[in-house]
Chain A
Amino acid sequence: MLVLIEQSLNGLQFGLLLFLLAAGLTLVFGIMDFVNLAHGSLYMMGAYFAATFVAWTGSFLLGVVLALGATLLLGIALEFVALRHLYGRDHLDQVLATFGLILFFNDAVRLIWGPAGLVLPLPAWLTVPVQIMPGVFYPAYRLSIIVVALAVAAMLYVVVMRTRVGMLIRAGASNREMIGALGINIKLLFTLVFGLGAALAGLAGLMQAPILTVQIGMGENILILAFVIIVIGGIGSIRGAFLAAIFVGMIDTLGRAFLPDLLRMVLSSAAASTAAPALSSMLIYLLMAIVLVLRPEGLFPAARR
Chain B
Amino acid sequence: MKLQINVRNVVVALVALGLLLLPLYSAATGNIFILTLFTRIVIFALAAASLNLIMGYGGMMSFGHAAYLGIGGYAVGILAFEGIGSGFIQWPVALAASALYALVIGALSLRTRGVYFIMITLAFAQMAYYVASGLSRYGGDDGLTIYRRSTFGGLIDLSNRVQFYYLCLFCLFGGVYLIWRIVNSRFGMVVQGIRSNEQRMQAIGYHANRYRLVCFVISGTICGLAGALLANNTDFVSPAGMYWTRSGELMVMVVFGGMGSLFGPVIGTILFLLLEELLSQFTEYWALVMGPLLLLIVLFARGGIMGLLGRVGRG
Of B38-46, B199-207, B224-232, B285-293, the one contacting chain A is: B285-293
**Is there contact, CB below 8 Å, between B298 and A293?**
no
The residue from A99, A102, A224 contacting B123, defined by CB atoms under 8 A apart: A224
Residue B61 interfacial (CB < 8 Å): yes
Residue A58 interfacial (CB < 8 Å): no
**Is there contact, CB below 8 Å, between B119 and A101?**
no
Nearest A residue (CB) for B105: A289
Residue B116 interfacial (CB < 8 Å): yes
**Is there contact, CB below 8 Å, between B61 and A92?**
yes
- Within A153-168, which residues are at the interface with B (CB < 8 Å)? none
Residue B136 interfacial (CB < 8 Å): yes
**Is there contact, CB below 8 Å, between B130 and A230?**
no
Q: Which residues of A contact B136 (CB under 8 A)?
A: 274, 277
| Residues of A within 8 A of B (CB-CB), count | 44
**Is there contact, CB below 8 Å, between B248 and A99?**
yes
Residue B196 interfacial (CB < 8 Å): no
- Within B94-136, which residues are at the interface with A (CB < 8 Å)? 108-109, 111-112, 114-116, 118-120, 122-124, 126-127, 130-131, 133-136
- Within B239-294, which residues are at the interface with A (CB < 8 Å)? 244-245, 248, 251-252, 255, 285-288, 290-294
**Is there contact, CB below 8 Å, between B288 and A227?**
no
Complexed CA–CA distance, A238 and B118 (Å): 20
- Within A288-304, which residues are at the interface with B (CB < 8 Å)? 288-289, 292-293, 296
Nearest B residue (CB) for A94: B298
**Is there contact, CB below 8 Å, between A91 and B291?**
no
Nearest A residue (CB) for B286: A107
Complexed CA–CA distance, A110 and B286 (Å): 11
- Within A76-93, which residues are at the interface with B (CB < 8 Å)? 82, 85-86, 89, 91-93
Nearest B residue (CB) for A106: B287
Residue A29 interfacial (CB < 8 Å): yes
Complexed CA–CA distance, A227 and B64 (Å): 14
Complexed CA–CA distance, A188 and B182 (Å): 48
**Is there contact, CB below 8 Å, between B299 and A292?**
no
Instruction: Report the minimal beta-carbon distance from A269 to chain B, rounded to whole angstroms.
Output: 14
Complexed CA–CA distance, A108 and B286 (Å): 10
Chain A binding surface, main DSSP class? helix
Nearest B residue (CB) for A38: B291
Complexed CA–CA distance, A104 and B289 (Å): 7
Residue A228 interfacial (CB < 8 Å): yes
Complexed CA–CA distance, A293 and B108 (Å): 7
Residue B302 interfacial (CB < 8 Å): yes
Q: Which residues of B contact A104 (CB under 8 A)?
A: 287-288, 291-292
Q: Which residues of B contact A91 (CB under 8 A)?
A: 61, 114-115, 118
Residue A281 interfacial (CB < 8 Å): yes
Q: Which residues of A contact B216 (CB under 8 A)?
A: none
Q: Which residues of A contact B134 (CB under 8 A)?
A: 274, 277-279, 281
Complexed CA–CA distance, A106 and B243 (Å): 15
The residue from A96, A110, A282, A288 contacting B130, defined by CB atoms under 8 A apart: A282
**Is there contact, CB below 8 Å, between A282 and B127?**
yes
Residue A100 interfacial (CB < 8 Å): yes
**Is there contact, CB below 8 Å, between A231 and B123?**
yes
The residue from B61, B127, B302 contacting A95, defined by CB atoms under 8 A apart: B61
**Is there contact, CB below 8 Å, between B291 and A100?**
yes
Complexed CA–CA distance, A288 and B291 (Å): 31
Q: Which residues of B contact A279 (CB under 8 A)?
A: 134
Complexed CA–CA distance, A277 and B132 (Å): 11
Instruction: Report the minimal beta-carbon distance from A21 to chain B, rounded to whole angstroms.
Output: 14
Complexed CA–CA distance, A82 and B295 (Å): 8
The residue from B112, B255, B288, B298 contacting A292, defined by CB atoms under 8 A apart: B112
**Is there contact, CB below 8 Å, between B124 and A285?**
yes
- Within B183-232, which residues are at the interface with A (CB < 8 Å)? none
- Within A98-146, which residues are at the interface with B (CB < 8 Å)? 99-108, 110-111
Known contacts A100-B298, A282-B127: does B61 contact A292 (CB below 8 Å)?
no
**A–B complex contacts, Cβ < 8 Å, 12 sampled:** A97-B299, A100-B293, A100-B298, A103-B245, A107-B286, A224-B122, A278-B134, A282-B131, A285-B127, A289-B124, A293-B108, A296-B111
Given A96-B255, A100-B298, A224-B122, 8 additional A-B pairs, CB 8 A = A100-B295, A102-B245, A103-B291, A227-B123, A230-B119, A235-B115, A285-B123, A292-B120
- Chain A residues within CB distance 8 Å of chain B: 29, 35, 82, 85-86, 89, 91-93, 95-97, 99-108, 110-111, 220-221, 224, 227-228, 230-231, 235, 274, 277-279, 281-282, 285, 288-289, 292-293, 296
